[in-house]
Amino acid sequence: MKLYLLSLLACLCTQLAWAQPTVQKRYQTQLIMADNGSTIDLDAGTFTFTGSLSLQDKKRIVIRGKGIDKTILSFKGQTDGAEGLRVSNAEDIVIENLTVQDSKGDGIKTMNVKGITFRNVKVEWTGAPKAENGGYGLYPVQCDNVVIDGCTAIGASDAGIYVGQSRGIVVKNSKAYHNVAGIEIENSRNADVFDNEAYENTGGILVFDLPDLVQKQGGNVRVFNNYVHDNNFPNFAPAGNIVASVSDGTGLMILAANNVEVFNNRFIHNQTLGTAIISYLLTERPITDKAYYPFATGISIHDNVYERNAGPVSQRGRYNKLFSQVLKPGQDVPHIIYDGIADPNTLDKDGKLQADKRICIRNNKNQSFVNLDAGRGFQHVSFNTTPFDCQLEPIKTSVSNNR
């Protein structure tokens, strides 16, 4: 009997090429061989990989390190593969207690995963932030039930924490700094972003809907209890990417997204603007996607705190030039900016938005506001909040994953 087991083990070992005992092969083999339901424990220490690690077609796997900055997977000098760790076509995956460093492309990409939790995970590009850094730090895309909890993202040349084309999302207790965008929710539905700190990015938090993607029309996003401060970092995104047009000094930007509720946040020392609500039309990029809806509608900004130092806004970035045209010399850019571009099909005969499509701005500390009226060539720039003093139904997200 013993002999039988031993021979089985022997077969297994020769098959797995244990003979080449590099860590990369060992961990990659473990990821390929993992049984559903198993835990892959990573040792403490810094491990250097020349290629991506990948997990696919598995269920209920935990990839667990010994802690942030204790288990470090370094991809410095990576020669193969476009991300550090990649998980695809899987269910109920947990990645926790580890750091991924200096991958050539994205840090951790998870695609097509039903149930993905990142817990106590740091993704960073070491050294000064630069355009050569990878695009996204944590990058779940086309996933269901995404939880990002207690994570940190540093140095991404696009977004540190990026959730794209996904459904059912919680981003909480996390930090993002020295990224172009700190936290970005893009073309995603039902997201709660709360108790996070986004600081020293170009833009703190972005809620975007973009054309030409598989999942259209994100929305139902709540952004609350976040501390979004000092996001004045010069934009270092490679040109061409949409975030390259985000002005430094941006706290929160909502672009073409629908049903977004922003409340109880502190937007502090974001020198250009605290919160912007803009349409994709303002980007002046062509739209050929017929199913795309370029307007921001159903936006509620209430009970937030705005503060910043006196002084001029950053002169970098395309939108800042715009302010110089619509503001009097010396006039501060208001904390909250709406481009005023509304869908003509949703206006009633008095030119007002339908009730559930309104932009509502109420009860924010230090509230100041401008409607740029960009749709009509900035002719009627208005600082009057009265038309926007309303309350939308609170958004209920249907996030069920609370692991």
Partner 1 sequence: MRTCLVWGVLLSIGWLMLGSWQTVTIPEKLSDYGFFKDKLADQQPADGVVPYALNTPLFSDYAEKLRFVKLPAGQSVAYNDTAILDFPVGTTLIKTFYYPNDFRNPDKGRRLIETRLLIHQSEGWKALDYVWNEDQTDALLEVAGDTKTVSYIDANGQFQQHPFVIPNLNQCKGCHNRAEVMTPIGPSVRQLNGDLTYGDKRPENQLRHWQRTGILTGLPALEKCPKTPVWNKPETGSINDRARAWLDINCAHCHNPKGPAMTSGLNLNYSEKDPTAFGIQKTPVAAGRGSGGRTYDIVPGKPDESILIYRLESTDPGEMMPELGRKTVHRESLVLLKEWIKAMK
Q: Is 238 in the site for partner 1 (CB under 8 A)?
A: yes
Between residues 141 and 191, which has the closer beta carbon with respect to partner 1?
141
Q: Give buried/exposed letters for 59-69 (b at 16+ CB in 10 A, else e).
A: ebbbbbbeebe
Residues 92-151 that bind partner 1 (CB under 8 A): 103-106, 111-112, 131-136, 139, 141-142
Q: Which of 39, 46, 50, 264 binds partner 1 (CB under 8 A)?
A: 50
Tokens 């919680």 — which residue?
170
CA 268 to chain CA centroid, Å, is 19
Residues 212-231 that bind partner 1 (CB under 8 A): 212-214
Q: Is 74 in the site for partner 1 (CB under 8 A)?
A: no
Q: Is 55 in the site for partner 1 (CB under 8 A)?
A: yes
The residue range among 31-39, 346-354, 355-363, 384-392 that interacts with partner 1, by the rule CB under 8 A, is: 31-39
Where do the DSSP E strands lie in 305-388? 305-307, 336-338, 359-362, 369-371
Residue 388 sits at φ, ψ, to 5 deg, of: -110, 10
153 DSSP β-pair partners: 123, 176
CB 114 within 8 A of CB 145: yes
Q: Is 52 helix (H, G, I), strand (E, B) or coil?
A: strand
The pair of structure tokens assigned to 31 is 């990821």
Q: Is 234 in the site for partner 1 (CB under 8 A)?
A: no
Q: How many residues bind partner 1 (CB under 8 A)?
A: 65
Find the shortest distance in angstroms from Cβ 103 to partner 1.
8
Residues 358-387 that bind partner 1 (CB under 8 A): none
Q: Is 201 helix (H, G, I), strand (E, B) or coil?
A: coil
Tokens 């249907």 — which residue?
398
Q: Which of 128, 288, 309, 398 binds partner 1 (CB under 8 A)?
A: 288
Find the shortest distance in angstroms from Cβ 211 to partner 1.
8
Q: Which of 241, 366, 382, 397 binds partner 1 (CB under 8 A)?
A: 241
Between residues 15 and 354, which has the closer beta carbon with respect to partner 1?
15
140 DSSP β-pair partners: 110
Q: Which of 149, 158, 209, 261 binds partner 1 (CB under 8 A)?
A: 158
Q: Which of 3, 21, 128, 239 binds partner 1 (CB under 8 A)?
A: 239
Q: Is 183 in the site for partner 1 (CB under 8 A)?
A: no
Angle subtended at Cα 135 by Cα 314 and Cα 185, rounded to the nearest 5 degrees:
75
Show Cβ contacts of residue 17 under 8 Å, excluding neighbours closer than 6 positions.
Answer: 25, 29
Between residues 49 and 388, which has the closer beta carbon with respect to partner 1?
49
d(CA 307, CA 364): 11
Find the shortest distance in angstroms from Cβ 307 to partner 1.
33
Q: Is 217 helix (H, G, I), strand (E, B) or coil?
A: coil
Q: Which of 28, 225, 346, 401 binds partner 1 (CB under 8 A)?
A: 28
Q: Is 21 in the site for partner 1 (CB under 8 A)?
A: no
d(CA 151, CA 169): 14
Which of 107, 243, 236, 134 shows the shortest CA–CA distance to 184? 243
Residues at the contact surface with partner 1, assessed by CB under 8 A: 1, 4-5, 8, 11, 14-17, 20, 24-25, 28-29, 31-33, 35, 50-51, 54-57, 78-82, 88-89, 103-106, 111-112, 131-136, 139, 141-142, 157-158, 162, 164-165, 210-214, 238-242, 285-286, 288-289
